[in-house]
Amino acid sequence: MLKKSLHIALLALVVSGCSSQTSSQEQSVAVYTKDQSKHAFAQAVKLSHEDEDYRILGRSFFSIPWVEAPSATTARDGLGPLFSANTCKHCHTNNGAGVAQKENGEIDRSLVMRLSIPFTKNLNNSLIMRNGFVPEPTYGGQLSFNGTSDVKYEGSVSISYTQIEGKYADNELFTLHQPHYKLTSLQYGDMQKDVNVAPHIALALIGLNAIEAIDTQEILKNEDITDTNKDGISGKANWVFNPETNTTQLGRYTWKAAAASVKQQVANAAHNDMGLSNPLYPGDNCTDKQEECLKAPKGRGEFDLPMDRIDAITYYLETLKIPAQRKGSNFEKGQEIFNALGCVKCHISSFITKTGETIHPYSDFLLHDMGTQLSDGHTIFLAEANEFRTPPLWGIGLYEKVSGKLNLLHDGRAKTVAEAILWHGGEAKTQNEAFKQLTKQDRDALIEFLKGI
Ligand code: HEC
Ligand code: HEC
């Protein structure tokens, strides 16, 4: 297989000149697509034949269902014994964000339940140092909705919403959806009493390699942990253990910025969401209280997902194009409002990557306290219960088209862009209040802008 550097060099040969935002012709991490269909997040950059084959291999591991071991017919065995879904694609349909509820009101698999118990931060404890949290002793770090033949699944969840009515300053009404979850059919007995259940919805897979190409210092520059400039907004980096490098690195991915690299997150997802053991997360996804799980038949190799397959999936995700901005007539006006309200303090509009390209993710990749109403109670590495990474907003106007539904915020509770803003609290309370004071015309312009970035 070709080395990554060669891949990038080949990539640059093909795409050089295609992107007007590229100042360096050496390596491009940001190639744009104008596709606005439901396949907008699944467009790949142009590659040589050999690299295209490798990309397709990665895509196949991402999208073709895995089966339980042992299987005579396929090299894709090793699913589970406990798992949430049998393909990556199940939760990241068309590479888009997850949806919270299915049409029949049942919870969708793409909304996972992270489980943890309280702990005191102690870096001498290797479990805390590596995971950043302490999993529930019987069920582990995530509730598995499925099990292989002889292994009981862990449980199910039911979801309901209370509607909360509110008013903008001009008296127009809005509705917020407060979620409620109930764990049902727990197959391994009660959970520890003080367990915390944090619902996290699948994220859209956009511009992952561009995010990786931002220099760490560029992100840290915006940190203001003690709010020295007194603007009410702090911004804190999450420092996380990355088994890929065996070091602590800046977290850039997931709702709580708990993953440092795309490869780490691919390996983590394979292990936790699909039960695929791999060199970065070895062993089966069973706790020592789950005997059937521990005894279940294993795949034939040392790992269900060896490193070359993790690399192929990572390559597939890193060769996707970024959706180009779609500027309507109110774009400029909406942008002015976005800046004036101070949204841009967290949703930072642009970064220059190490490759010299200007990208527009609308995120600072830092953690912010979003208030108690959004809290998920989950602490991971340096991220506290109320803290979340500012999610990038690029492509947000295409989410509904790509996923079939719009479910914003970490648990997918917000059904419109306006609702997502209206839930902002904590450090972003002022911006929420300012949003409510806008005229209808200005609110619409802001939202039109957001849908175009
Ligand atoms: C059961 C549903 C589910 C499956 C299956 C799944 N994911 Fe995810 N994915 C999620 C959720 C939920 C998140 C957000 C995690 C969090 O913040 O706690 C996520 C986040 C990610 C991210 C981070 C994106 C970002 O912008 O930060 C990547 C990359 C990713 N998944 C890749 C994969 C790959 C590759 C696979 C298959 C090996 C996979 N996922 C399988 C649910 C899933
Ligand atoms: C203090 C930092 C901060 C400020 C200021 C801020 N946001 Fe956010 N924003 C966040 C964080 C963190 C989240 C994720 C919260 C969660 O998932 O619970 C978020 C989520 C969002 C989302 C949903 C994204 C998704 O993928 O689900 C939208 C839309 C959004 N913000 C728009 C805005 C707008 C518009 C403003 C200004 C009115 C604003 N934000 C101000 C930090 C901020």
Contact 408, 414 (CB under 8 A): yes
Please give the C-alpha separations between residue 330 and each of 6, 67, 242, 334, 452, in angstroms, as whole numbers: 42, 49, 42, 6, 10
pLDDT by position in tens, the chain (length 453)? 444 444 444 344 334 434 444 333 447 999 999 999 999 999 999 999 999 999 999 999 999 999 998 887 677 888 999 999 999 999 999 999 999 999 999 999 999 999 999 998 776 788 899 999 999 999 999 999 999 988 999 999 999 999 999 999 999 999 999 999 999 999 999 999 999 999 999 999 999 999 999 999 999 999 999 999 999 999 999 999 999 999 999 999 999 999 999 999 999 999 999 999 999 999 899 999 999 999 998 887 889 999 999 999 999 999 999 999 999 999 999 999 999 999 999 999 999 999 999 999 999 999 999 999 999 999 999 999 999 999 999 999 999 999 999 999 999 999 999 999 999 999 999 999 999 999 999 999 999 999 999
In ligand 2, the atom with minimum distance to the C-alpha of 407 is: 27
d(CA 288, CA 428): 42
Please give the C-alpha separations between residue 309 and each of 145, 278, 339, in angstroms, as whole numbers: 25, 9, 43
Q: What is the pLDDT of residue 329?
A: 96
Contact 122, 132 (CB under 8 A): no
Contact 319, 45 (CB under 8 A): yes
Residue of the nearest CA to atom 30 in ligand 2?
421
Contact 256, 367 (CB under 8 A): yes
Q: What is the pLDDT of residue 121?
A: 76
d(CA 433, CA 296): 54
Contact 166, 422 (CB under 8 A): yes
Contact 213, 355 (CB under 8 A): yes
d(CA 365, CA 348): 9
Read off the tokens for 285: 């996804």
In ligand 2, the atom with minimum distance to the C-alpha of 203 is: 26
Cβ of residue 243 lying under 6 Å from some atom of ligand 2: no
In ligand 1, the atom with minimum distance to the C-alpha of 84 is: 1
Contact 368, 428 (CB under 8 A): yes
Ligand 2 center–CA 263 separation, angstroms: 26
Cα 210 to chain centroid distance, Å, stands at 15
Neighbour tally for 179: CB within 10 Å: 16
Query: Nearest ligand to the C-alpha of residue 409?
Result: 2
Read off the tokens for 411: 């648990």
368-389: b (≥16 Cβ within 10 Å) or e: bbbbeebbbebbbbbbeebbbb
Residue of the nearest CA to atom 34 in ligand 2?
343
d(CA 68, CA 78): 5
Contact 357, 8 (CB under 8 A): no
Ligand 1 center–CA 99 separation, angstroms: 13
Neighbour tally for 168: CB within 10 Å: 17
Query: Nearest ligand to the C-alpha of residue 89?
Result: 1
Q: What is the pLDDT of residue 212?
A: 98
Cβ of residue 202 lying under 6 Å from some atom of ligand 2: no
Query: Nearest ligand to the C-alpha of residue 224?
Result: 2
Q: What is the pLDDT of residue 440?
A: 98
Cα distance between the two ends of the chain: 36
Those residues whose C-beta lies under 8 Å from the C-beta of residue 232, and which sit 6 or more positions away, are 427, 429, 430
362 dihedral zone (left: phi>0; alpha: psi -120 to 50; beta): left
- 283: buried, middle or exposed (CB in 10 Å: 19+, 13-18, 0-12)? exposed
d(CA 379, CA 135): 11
Q: Which residue has the tokens 């039960």?
A: 275
Q: What is the pLDDT of residue 124?
A: 74
Q: What is the pLDDT of residue 301?
A: 85
Q: Give the phi and the psi of residue 363 in degrees, each rounded to 5.
A: -155, 155
Q: What is the pLDDT of residue 24?
A: 36
Residue of the nearest CA to atom 9 in ligand 2?
390
